[in-house]
Structure 1
């Protein structure tokens, strides 16, 4: 028998404030058509005064617990992927732990920017496989609207806020590719490319800073690296592109999503796409897409999923799992 991390529940939270592309036309030299043609984004959600990364993460975690039929008392650990925690410390994960009323176990943040949720899944999978935890909530949550330079039309129109969460549970099965759970992971980073995507603030500057991105260079790296990491994870899992029911990619840009699917040899009919409604929500984008895909009836029990992401660092990776 093999111990696997199996999905028990999924949920998400989006702030109530919806910002259409046209709203940027009043302050920037841009248009709805310009934004759509370059990114596929039509709208995004921005945090209200009542929304923080930890509050959104808590709402998403509770939704995932509700779907799983579990409570915080049933959870051993929380792994939260974010680059926009409420405070420098303590971790947003411990804030979620308190908000859920969870007084046992442990919680910590993972910071790998847009690849954060993939890294968090790999962490949670390792906790379960090693026997350190039986049930883990894995969350991606971001308030990127707090680090936008609203004069930079090349970046501020791309990002949004939100949160998504999975509940993973340790289950014994035969360990074949047909059994549920996380089948394989692949993580990578290359710090030589830090200047392609970063925030120009932090403890060394005494400011929170703004997001800076060389979009063309990030695009050049993205398709090649995303397809390669997905192929590596699929090979480790013992599956091929023909076996895949859904690719759930990081929702950064429709052209990156399309280019990666083509390089993987997978039809866009098998790709869950939510970038048009959410924009790039960084570490939140994959669990958000999973939750939307599950609730829309796209993702069904037994489906084989491949999820991949790339973000600042550069950091990138993928996970193959069967729902």
Structure 2
């Protein structure tokens, strides 16, 4: 797909999760549910939750430091930082704070929001800066603390989400290892998964009224999202494979957004990818939104499962609705 002659390599990864975890048995003390009910429907058995003192920037900084170390560069060499998140510490953006905490003072830093598709959208965005020759070293972070926005009395949603961060380093290279991608959005289904602002009118003067309010807890139509994911994700992966001139049989690993084990299994089945090629860690972490793909990738790399040269088909999907896929070769 690269028309400009500059390649992209993913050379480092890192991840971080809060120390505190909440398993299904303890969650059943908060809301009417059970380990059997949750695990059978989602594959999730536990999730990590940030406490009141832990910030998104803290988690993202730890994950970034690990990725920078694996890539063998220094923070001063980073040209660009992209933070994919839907739960920034500051509504004006958190990437700049992470830049300061890392000491990456030469880097441009900004947030981007595409919910659970954020890391995939960020990966494609970061690669364009490298392919055009503007930047050589990009830090891409996916991080979310959605426990801030969960209704803990709603068992349809509170069982799903956990907190975490994952990061990768992308570097300019002679050979392009981002082999193909496809991104999609459908705003007509926006109401299926939302973290919506709810305004209340406040009169300032006669004839002048503004809206004051806050964001409301996450709402989701689980059946709609399931049907959307199992239909659209295989399609977008196939399109990305076509752009990469690869067949399904050439994929070493399937790395999906960690939303629900049933979705992971259904997508793999539709693509005829054997179960042993699925990377999954949502049993331990739940749905960490934009963090889920880089968090699972980092674990697989550090466990020695994913090796240099492995071809990974990765897809994110979620609110927006948005979805996308990338085909990339790990390492340099």
Q: TM-score, normalised by structure 1?
A: 0.95
Partner of 1:35: 38
* 1:68 and 2:67 correspond: no
* 1:2 and 2:5 correspond: yes
Distance 1:293 1:205 in 2: 45
Matching residue within 253, 259, 264 for 2:260: 253
- The answer (yes or no) to whether the contact 1:201–1:210 under 8 Å persists in 2 is no
Q: TM-score, normalised by structure 2?
A: 0.93
Match runs of 1:181-220 below 5 Å = 181-201=177-197, 206-220=213-227
- The answer (yes or no) to whether the contact 1:17–1:47 under 8 Å persists in 2 is yes
- The answer (yes or no) to whether the contact 2:157–2:219 under 8 Å persists in 1 is yes
> Post-superposition shift, 1:13?
0.3
> Post-superposition shift, 1:297?
1.1
Q: Which has the larger radius of gyration?
A: 2
Partner of 1:178: none
- The answer (yes or no) to whether the contact 1:86–1:92 under 8 Å persists in 2 is yes
Higher mean displacement: 1-10 or 258-267: 1-10
Gap change, CA 1:305 and 1:202, over 3 Å in 2: farther
Aligned partner of residue 256 in structure 2, secondary structure: coil
> Post-superposition shift, 1:202?
6.2
Q: How many residues align?
A: 316
Structure 2 unaligned regions, length at least 5:
200-210
> Post-superposition shift, 1:200?
2.7
> Post-superposition shift, 1:55?
1.3
Partner of 2:25: 22
Distance 1:284 1:122 in 2: 16
Partner of 2:162: 160
Matching residue within 263, 267, 271 for 1:264: 271
Partner of 1:102: 104
Partner of 1:51: 54
- The answer (yes or no) to whether the contact 2:77–2:106 under 8 Å persists in 1 is no
Partner of 2:136: 134
- The answer (yes or no) to whether the contact 1:118–1:319 under 8 Å persists in 2 is yes
Aligned partner of residue 154 in structure 1, secondary structure: helix
Partner of 2:174: 172
Moved over 4 A (4+): 202-205
Deviations 1:148-179 (A, max 9, x none): 00110000010000000000100012x5xxxx
Distance 2:98 2:257 in 1: 23
> Post-superposition shift, 1:291?
0.2
Distance 1:105 1:75 in 2: 6
Distance 1:233 1:50 in 2: 41
Distance 2:62 2:29 in 1: 33
> Post-superposition shift, 1:205?
5.4
Distance 2:107 2:13 in 1: 20
Aligned residues: CA RMSD: 1.2
Distance 1:92 1:308 in 2: 25
Distance 1:65 1:104 in 2: 15
> Post-superposition shift, 1:92?
1.3
Distance 1:2 1:50 in 2: 46
